[in-house]
A and B are shown apart, each in its own frame.
Chain A
Amino acid sequence: MTSPTSSPLRVIGRAVPVPGDAAQPLMGCRVRAGFPSPADDHLDVEIDLHAHVVRRPAATYFVRAEGDSMLGDGIHDGDLLVVDRSLEPLPGRVVVIAVDGEPTVKRLARRGEQTFLMASNPRFAPIPLAGRECEVWGVVTHVLHALPGGGA
């Protein structure tokens, strides 16, 4: 094991966070080049899971999933879902959608001109949206799944 050098650290420059990336780095900051930032040790704040999963506080809601049709996406019965209402319901995204007034969780899919609601469990058939009364409520961004004995 090498011992740390005794010479005082020199500040070379401020570490610059990578711009344009919506994801928040978990550490104090993300660095472009390969050398460690001397500032990192001082920038650390408590890791805040809420800040990590909530991008837009005014538009973010927590909801509880019921049922097992979305197991393929890691959504179990009783899981906590983080839903962002400000995100666009693009094909491929998992959404909370009110179908005939009942909110449900499904993945949006597009086939040709048609939009479908897909369950991620092969036991459930795709539901074509055409001709149904539905409104996207929000886009699911995270799933919080408690393991047995692991708490809520």
Chain B
Amino acid sequence: MIALVDCNNFYVSCERAFAPRLEGRPVGVLSNNDGCVVARSNELKALGVAMGAPMHLLPPAIRRQAVLLSSNYALYGDMSRRVNLILDEFSPDVEAYSIDESFVGFAGFAVDGLEAHAQRLRETVRRDTGIPVCVGLAPTRVLAKVANHAAKKQAAYEGVCRLEADGPATRALLASLPVTELWGVARRTAERLALMDIHTAWQLREADPKQVRRHFSVVLERIVWELRGRPAIVLDDMHEPRQRIMVSRSFGRLTGAFADLQEAVRQHAARAAEKLRGQGSQARAVMVFLRTNPHLVGERQYRNSVVVPLPAPGDDSRELLEAASWGLAAIFLEGVRYQKCGVMLLDLVEADRHQLSLLAPRSEVERGRSQRLMAAVDRLNREMGRDTVRFGLPRQGTAWALRCERRTPRYTTRWDELMRVRTG
């Protein structure tokens, strides 16, 4: 069995954890500088505010009612780290999938007590961090995603939903789930599936895997197998377009050398940047994470992550690489042997829709040059093979300072911004 643990409205929950007065109010978190909504509380969703809505286009009535905050990536990164630390207590097999989701493997655990175990996990995360999470339990990652979705939408599950490979509950859920809601199924794929009269997850499960592979892709075929309860997905192969991009690898052997990690992180960042441009997006922040091998008894264990916000949404490899290197330097710890590191691109925005920031450090001319350069690099790597063109040392002296007037204090990472509590 594998679990998908997903934090509810993560950014908003982080803010609420340190400002209880925000509980029950419509709260939105804005992207840095350009003022789009990147996270919404349920109350804000209920007011009809869409994901990605530009702040200046929000009706005045909503702006008056809602609490709109700048994103506080230092806080979100630290809270994500804390959540994963707690997950480590519940299984040695924790894999971060995004800043607010992790897969937790329960192979070898007694099957009977799993739901109670998941419920304890959920309560512990809530107690220790204040962040509500939902848990989806299933034999495969794709089904765990579906189970998590159900746990989130249906209060009766009390935050933990377990799906078996077969059974009436699984069938009912899949039959009511449009393929568009499935992990790894892009909008365009869904449109083509509709032409074949496949609309629900159950219909996809019943499709012929070989045919699916012929008409679509290996990944979609694997999704069919996973829907049937047979594990087939490698995490690194999956990314949901337009939401997040992640590239990570385990090292062939453990390494404690900073140079190894730097090399790996730069490669991951370059690969992620390529994927980002491939889908026509830009990222607002870069997350770097690393960890030791939790299965090795007697080894010093360490796990950390950090989020580096970008001055403006970007897709230039040089900028993303520099942010990633900067993040790695901040969390690297001497004297431990690492097994895995990775790079995640967060809070993506469509490149053509993003509004230019007045504070963007680059002029329009430079932007154009960057775009042409990156297009040339991607073409060369596509046509001549990966890594034909690679990036050398990053430019020096980019300012990472951001303007974020509505940002809450960085409660957990700055001495001078700690939460304040009145005694009287």
Contacts and interface: CB of A to CB of B under 8 A. Distances in A.
A40 interface: no
Interface stretch (A1-9, A28-36, A44-52, A97-105): A97-105
B418 A62 contact: yes
A20 B127 CA distance: 24
Interface residues of A, number: 34
A22 B68 CA distance: 42
A85 B127 CA distance: 6
Given A85-B130, A103-B422, A137 B20 contact: yes
A96 interface: yes
A96 B85 CA distance: 23
B21 A59 contact: no
Contacts of A81: 421
Interface string A45-76: 00000000000111101111111111000010
Which of A58, A65, A67, A106 has the most B CB atoms < 10 Å from its CB? A58
Interface in B60-104: 82-83, 85-86
A112 B71 CA distance: 46
A120 B237 CA distance: 58
B168 interface: no
A67 B415 CA distance: 19
A80 interface: yes
B412 interface: yes
A77 to B, nearest CB: 8
B331 interface: no
B419 interface: yes
Contacts of B418: 62-64, 80
A147 interface: no
Nearest to B22: A101
Interface string B399-424: 00000000000011001001111111
Nearest to B83: A58
Contacts of B23: 101
Interface residues of B, number: 22
B129 interface: yes
Contacts of B422: 66-67, 102-105
B128 interface: yes
Nearest to A124: B424
Given A85-B129, A85-B130, A86-B127, A63 B424 contact: no
A101 B421 contact: no
B128 A105 contact: no
Kindly name the residue among B21, B130, B419 whose own CB sees the greatest number of chain A CB atoms within 10 A.
Answer: B419
A130 interface: no
A68 B415 contact: no
A23 interface: no
A58 B85 contact: yes
A135 B424 contact: no
Given A62-B418, A69-B424, A105-B422, A57 B21 contact: no
A81 B415 CA distance: 12
B20 A67 contact: no
A11 interface: no
A119 interface: yes
A65 B421 CA distance: 5
A59 B420 contact: no
B424 A56 contact: no
Given A63-B420, A85-B129, A58 B82 contact: yes
A16 B324 CA distance: 45
B127 A59 contact: yes
The 3 closest A-B pairs by CB, nearest first: A101-B21, A69-B424, A59-B128
7 contacts: A59-B86, A63-B419, A65-B423, A69-B423, A103-B419, A103-B421, A105-B423
Interface of A: 56-59, 61-70, 75, 77, 80-81, 85-86, 96, 98, 101-106, 119, 121, 124, 135, 137, 152
